[in-house]
Amino acid sequence: MSCEDLVCARCAHPVIEGRCALCRANRERMHNQGFGGLSPAVVVFVLLLLLFFALAARHLVGA
């Protein structure tokens, strides 16, 4: 679910527009979800980087 689909109970406008303080707070809360405040794309990138280094270390030890 994204904030584009939500309607604010206070002002009755889409949350994505952020017209009232409640809209803005909920929009920020929904956009800041992730692992330790990081976006899912950054988490995936870090995991792939760790996998690459693990495979490189394994290759060097095996050679």
Contacts of 23 (CB under 8 A, 6+ apart): 8, 10, 11, 13, 15, 17
**pTM of this structure:** 0.46
Maximum Cα–Cα distance across the chain = 65
Q: Is the model's pLDDT at 56 over the cut of 90?
A: yes
* Residue 50, pLDDT score: 97
Q: Is the model's pLDDT at 59 over the cut of 60?
A: yes
